[in-house]
Each structure stands twice: as C-alpha cells, then as structure tokens.
A and B are shown apart, each in its own frame.
Chain A
Amino acid sequence: MTAPSPNKIVGEPVDRIDGQLKVTGGAHYPSDVGYPDMAHAVLVQSTIASGTIRAIDTADALAAPGVFAVITHENVPELVHEVMTPFGPSPRFPLKDNRIVHHGQHVAVVVAETLEEARAASRLVRVEYDETAAILDIDDPRAQVTTNPYEMDVERGDVEKALASADIVYDERFHTAPVTNNPLGPFAAVARWDDGRLLIHSSTQWPVMERHVLAGIFSLDESAVQVLVPYLGGGFGAGLRTWPHTVLTALAARILDRPVKLVVPRPQMFTSVGHRPETVQHLRIGATSDGRLVAIDHEGTSTTGAEESNLEPITVVTREAYDCPNLATHDRLVALNIPNPGAMRAPGHAEGSFALESAMDELSHRLGIDPLELRLRNFAEVNPQTRLPWSSNALRECYRVGAERFGWHHRNAEPGSLRDGEWLIGHGMAAVSYSWWATPCRATLSLGRDGGARLRAAATDIGTGTYTIAAQIVAELLGLEVDQVHVEIGDSALPLAPPSGGSGLAVAFGGAIEDAAAHLVRAFLDLVRDDDRSPLRGRDPDEVIATNGRLQLSDDPGVGESYTAILERHGKDELSAEGETDPTPKAEGMTMSPAGAFAAQFAEVRVHEELGLLKVTRLVAAVDAGRVLNEKTARSQVAGGMVMAIGMTQFEETAFDPATGRITNATFGDYLIPVSADIPDLDVVFVGEPDRYNPMGIKGIGEVGITCAPAAIANAVYHATGKRIRSLPITIEELL
C-alpha cells in the first residue's frame, strides 16, 4: 500500500471521457460494425406458441436474389446446447429440434448479400405447424412450478405463531406486469472466423461470459474466441446472457465462411433478449399496535420460459429490509410458453420492493403512524438475517435528507387532502437496501515513457460511466491527470472482469485497479531499489505518495522523481502491473455484512380527478452510495433508474395475447417508454460514507434508482386519491 493519496480526483463530477466520441457519432456500437464481404442475416420467428414444425419450405427463399443460405432445424450442424453460467444453463437453442415453445421463437435464419435481400427472402420461408395448447397464464394449473428455484428462500423465527399473536395482520396480493428492457441500441452480432478462431462484435454486458458460452457451444478453446463490445447502446440486464441470435450469427458466419451481421429488429427485441417477467406476490405482515413488525411472510411468483431458467429473486429484498424477528420468504417459478425472461435492472428487487414498500405504506395508514416513522421504528441496525454489523449504512441519513429536501413533514397525511383545481396531489415515499453482486476481477495497468497510464480489463461501459470512473481511480492513485489515462475495456481478451450488472462492476473493478496501482508503484520502487541516482532509492511504498506524475516521500515532498525520469534512466518504455480482487463475500468467517446502496425516495404526483391522468411532478432520491466515484455520472445513473421506474409504474406492459401468446405491442409505437415530457426534474442527493468492506469504499448504484420509486409513486397515488393500487402499471382505468 502506498500512503493515502493526496489527489482529489475520485468523486469529482468529471465529464465522461468518452463524451466527445458519443456526441460526434464516433463511438462504435456492435450494430455499427461492417466488413467488406459481410453478409446480412435476418431471423424468421414462429407464429405459434406451442407445437411442432410439420414442414419448413425454404426453396423460394433460397432462390431469391442475393440469398446465400437459410439455416433451419433441418440443416443446422451439431452444436453443444447447454453451457453452464451463473444464471443457469445458456438459453434454449431454438433450432435444436422441430419443437416450438413460444411465439416468436427463431425457426430460421436467412443470410443474403444485403440486408434488403435477406429481409425480403425471410418473408418467403413457409412454415407449417402442428399446434398444441399453449400454457400462457401464470395461474394455469397445468404449468410446471418450481418452488425455491434459486435456493434463496429463508426462514427465521416462527412466522405463523407471530402472525397469530400480532395486534394487526396485513394480508394482500400484488401483481406486476411483464416489461421489456428495450435498450435503445438494438442487439447485434457481427461474427467472423479466421483459421478456426471466432471474432464476434456483440451486444453483451459480460464479454468473458459470452466467450465462455460461445466456446462451449462451438467446442472451442476459450482462447479461440474473442468478444468485442467497446460501446453498448444500453442493456439493463439484457446483455447478461448469450442469446440464440448471437449463436446463430456465429454459426452462419462459419457455414458461409464470411463475416455475417445480424441486428435484431425492434419487434424481435421483445422476443429475443429477455424481459422482466410478470409477478404475483402475497405479503402477510404482523405488527404490534405501536408499529413494531413481528412477522413478515413474502411469497413471490414469477414466470419463466418453457425449458428455460431465469434468476428473478423477488423476495430477497425483504429479508434484509427491516428488523423483524420472524420472517419467511419464498420464491416460485412458473414455466409458460413465453419468450424466456431475463435480467432487467434490479431483477426481482424492483418487483419485490414494490410490494413490500406498498405494504409498509398501507400498514402505516392502518396503524395511524407516519410511513417514515414506521420505517424508522423497524430500522435494521444490523443485517437482520445474519445479525452482522453492516459494512456501512446511512439509510437513516437517506430518510432525513430526503424528507427534508422533499418537505415531507409539512404534508397533511390525510388521503385526498391536497388539491389544485381538478388535480389531486399526493405524496409518497419508499426505501430500499440494495445489495450488489460481483465476481472476481483483474486489471493490467501500465505507465509509459510519455507519462501516461494504460488500464486494461474485460469490463464494459454500457452507459454506466465505467471508462470515466476507471480513469479517475487510476489518475488519483498514480497522481496523474484524467486525460493521461487511457482505458481499454470491452474486449474478452483483456484481463477477466465481471459484468456490468448486479451493481457490482465498480466495486470489483475499483478493487482490481487499486491492487494494480499498488503493484505498479512497487514496481517503480523496485526498479530504483539499488539506483544511486534515484532519490527514492531503497524506499518502501508506504513512505511514498504519487502525485503530479511523480513519486515522492510523503513526509518530504521535495524528495522524489517522475515516472518518466525513472523509465528513461532505466531504458524502459513502460512498467506494467497486474491487479486482482475477489469481492465475493465468504461463506464463513465474515465479521461484517457487506452493504449495498441504500435509498429513500419521495414522490409527488398529480392525478386528474375526472380523467384519471397521472403525472409524477417531483421525485427525490437520497442515496447512500458509499464512496461516490463521479458525482455527475453517479447522479445520471440513479436518475436513469428513476426514469425507468416511472416507465414501469405508469406505462410499461409487455402485452401477451392470452389466446396465442403473441406480444401485441412489440413496437415503440405501442409499447410506451417514458419520453421527455413525462419526466419532471429529478433530485438525486448522495449521503453516507465510504463503505468498509472494499478498499475503495464503493457501492454499486446501477439499480438502486429503480427499486423504490414504483412504491413511492403508488403510495403518492394513494395519498392523492385514497385508491390503493397493488398492481403495475397503474392505469387510467384504476384511477377513474
């Protein structure tokens, strides 16, 4: 370890270092990649939800101008179908046989010289089906149900006994609609093969996992696969898995022996890269009349695709939320004939916390206790599940600062008490503790003769600001300017890194950079250990600080020299060092509970009395994000989650036709995501201290923004109208 850094770069609202590229159109996303000689692929999808393909006629498509190949289950070469990942086996390969398990399943890929030709020919593929009854309803008794599917269910104390003796028992059910990630950048893959090696530009949030899956499927050594994604047009979880279209693009390129590009058109984005599943939840809460929670029982059911797996832990959010001695959480997974869901920003948590935090609000009204006060009375001083002290917890501060900024305590608590003409006004709040998830991370850091540093890791920046925060951390630790740091990410060939996902990348990557920087400083000192001409001869890292492009003694700043002077004298172009970290909490021997971000959000809504129109007019989020790495990008990230939460609460619903399983609103014209006019100014404020669990004190913040806003808004709707809406999205019909 070097002495503490004197440089103040981490935390500063530095402009994104990739900003210039993004505002000039110079950032290259997977769908921008082209090669001479590249062919274009288009997917043909099933028009039934369940059954078998009786016949597939590709003759006309093959005869159409420009067409090179049509790949179907009848001519697909042998591949390995299941590769294990942290999210379960890789998604079901749709061409593995003639069976159809959901509407919109890929049944053929048409590859042609131009996109127009491929598209035209795709319409000429004729498929005949033998249809069987599809299972489409989450309550269908024929559906296969898995209980405790993630082995995350917990039980503490005796819930039934505590409920039986509680002063008040709350017992309600909730529903959340399926919604679709819809990153603005359509997912794309551009694949080419050279001497048995696969190079693929691909929309993924996890290049090394994509490499692992593709290597498995094509029976290759991992070193023979390279995945590139320097920029991604958003993902929100959709890029955490290797979806079949990516496999099919690589396959087409191998069959044709030329580069192939496939861009998933917007309507197919609804069926090809996952979505947030529908949930139904049942919450029972027992409390004393003075507002002490004595029991919580939370059951959450979500949907998954037939023959698929999905990780949607709905009730996890509940087990650590409040200090409640008796608690049981159970998840259930129901398999339907729908496109496989997948992760979408705060998977499980966004839905689970909507139910829990709506319930807390409802309970507070039944008890006649202010909703904020009820939460404070049940504040979890320690992790209520493990009883370990939190590595940090500023949730009280979130409550206090958020309430102050919002003006919470000035409201009249009576529902329906505030109005402005025909508009009813309501205030609501909700809170969350959002833990992060990450995997081991490595990084390589080098410093060259020009005085600049180069950081390399297979991390990604999906809009989260990874490029910028990584450069800031390096600059701070090595004593450089941000623009002296070159960050290379988005390439699976670089040192292993976790995904942009699970709010964990900053924690893991930050730790790896810190380790690499410490090693690099040591490498410089090792180089001058016996160097008579160096003022740093024989010095140890803990005596030295890095600042202004040089290393110097912390207690005698005049004694030191620049990196470039050392490199020049020793005839070296650069020095390099590796760093690594494993942030995964250990199963044994933990002395603290690694905390994620905490947040409290406060919403103001207006509901038109006669028309049922709902407008969110104010949203305040106070977030304990540990050590904020970049005030500007951090605020944007939380605000972005709040915008998506407004979508989930007010507009978004992936509509499955109950008879056919077809998604009836699979366009941006029909599936409504928030537009500028729907979004008020968003107030995001950070509170708290650096976290104690990881060396940089970081907590992930990619998902905390979406987790409590839906309940805060629904609670505000109740306060405005007296109507308790336990189902998302909140529609006009419910408010009329």
Chain B
Amino acid sequence: MGGASVVGRTTVTVQVNGQERRLELDSRVTLLDMLREHLELTGTKKGCDQGACGACTVLLDGRRVVSCLTLAAQCDGREVTTIEGLAPGGELHPLQEAFIRHDGFQCGFCTAGQIMSAVALLAEERAGSDAEIREFMSGNLCRCGAYPNIVAAIREIAQQGGGMP
C-alpha cells in the first residue's frame, strides 16, 4: 500500500435544517465538505478551508462555527443550520432582506457566512453599536469590500429588535 494509510469510515446522524440526515463518511470529511459534497448544500462556501475567512460559517446547536474546522464526525447527534435553512418555506429572514436592501454584498461569495454570523451576532446580543458590529463581524472577510453596507444591514435589524420572528 505504499505510504497510504488505511482510512476509517464513520457514521453520523445529524439534524440539518430540521431534517435528520444519516451519512457514512470518510472520517476526514469536514462539516463543510459534508454539507457541500455529500448533501449538495452548496450555499455554505469554502473561502480558505483554514478557519480564517468565515465564508463557511453555520450554526451548530445555535452557535456560529466555521464548518471547515469542524469534522462531520463531531456533529453526530447535533443540529446544524445553514443558509438554506434560514428561510424555510421561502419567506426571507429579515437579515436576508436587509442584506438585499442595503446591498450588503457584491459577488455574494461571503454572503452566506456573513448572514449566518449576523444571525448569531444578534442572538449573542453583540450588535449594540456599529463598533460592536464591526468588531464581532471581523471574522467574516469580504474581499468585495461590502463592509459598510453589511454593518448598515445588521444595524437596521438589530434596532428592530434582533430579527427574531
């Protein structure tokens, strides 16, 4: 077998956007690759695969995580919410609407991560001021430079009471 090592398989059962999914995976598969390559949920993006850009942000049991640094195996028995799960039934989440209104993106590649991060930010009650929003959204890179518009979108929803349905 040359230098290749035997690779383990793992079985995970995970709630993704409210649906129970059971998968048998290569144990090296990250949560991000599980979503993108195995569940065809490609809304969550891979910008760096190194935990440094935030494009892959999803909610794991309601908290934001970078899914590229989370192994799928760690998610067994847990709940994952992705951008596709934010608007069940087609009605947009207030933050999604605000991002459109304030032009909080250009290419859109960072957008899923920005929005998931912002959802968590509101839940964490860390959107009290522009400075706070800027600080706690700084794990989400936007190379298109949509930051001022992203801040404006989050500010608007935070002022309306956090976008809780």
Q: Which residues of A contact B (CB under 8 A)?
A: 15-16, 18-29, 31-32, 34, 59-61, 63-65, 114-117, 120-121, 124, 182-186, 231-234, 236, 263, 265-266, 462-465, 632-633, 635-637, 639-644, 667-669, 673-677, 679, 681-682
Contacts and interface: CB of A to CB of B under 8 A. Distances in A.
Contacts of B55: 184
Nearest to B107: A463
A669 B52 contact: yes
A183 B106 contact: no
Given A124-B4, A667-B52, A677-B138, A184 B109 contact: yes
24 contacts: A15-B101, A23-B97, A23-B115, A24-B92, A31-B45, A34-B40, A64-B3, A124-B3, A184-B53, A186-B47, A234-B109, A265-B49, A266-B48, A266-B49, A266-B50, A633-B103, A642-B145, A668-B141, A669-B51, A675-B139, A675-B140, A676-B133, A676-B138, A679-B134
A16 B103 contact: yes
Contact of B84 (A22, A25, A184): A25
Contact of A636 (B3, B26, B106): B106
Contacts of A679: 134, 145, 147-148
B109 A29 contact: yes
Given A633-B106, A636-B103, A636-B146, 17 more contacts: A15-B103, A16-B103, A20-B100, A22-B105, A23-B105, A24-B92, A25-B84, A31-B46, A63-B4, A65-B7, A234-B143, A263-B46, A266-B49, A463-B105, A635-B103, A669-B51, A676-B147
B147 A463 contact: no
B59 interface: no
B92 A463 contact: no
A233 B106 CA distance: 9
A675 B49 CA distance: 18
A440 B144 CA distance: 27
A524 B148 CA distance: 45
B26 A116 contact: yes
A479 to B, nearest CB: 25
B108 interface: yes
B43 A25 contact: yes
A190 B115 CA distance: 27
A643 B145 contact: yes
Given A23-B99, A640-B144, A669-B50, A675 B111 contact: no
Instruction: For the complex of A and B, list the 3 residue pairs with the smallest distance between their C-beta atoms, beginning with the closest.
Output: A25-B43, A643-B145, A463-B107
Nearest to B111: A22
Interface of B: 1-4, 7, 26, 28-29, 33, 36-37, 40-53, 55, 82-84, 86-87, 92, 96-97, 99-101, 103, 105-112, 115, 133-135, 137-151
A641 B150 CA distance: 16
Chain B facing A: main interface SS: loop
Given A23-B100, A667-B52, A677-B134, A639 B145 contact: yes
Contact of A25 (B42, B99, B147, B149): B42
Contact of A183 (B1, B41, B143): B143
Nearest to A65: B4
Given A116-B26, A676-B138, A16 B100 contact: yes
B100 A676 contact: no
Nearest to B85: A25
B135 A24 contact: no
Nearest to A119: B28
Contact of A641 (B101, B103, B108, B145): B145
B40 A25 contact: no
Contacts of B37: 34, 114-115
Nearest to A25: B43
Contacts of A114: 26, 37
Given A185-B47, A676-B147, A24 B100 contact: no
Contacts of A18: 108
B142 A184 contact: yes
Given A233-B107, A676-B150, A32 B48 contact: no
Contact of A20 (B82, B83, B92, B140): B92
A676 B137 contact: yes
A271 to B, nearest CB: 15
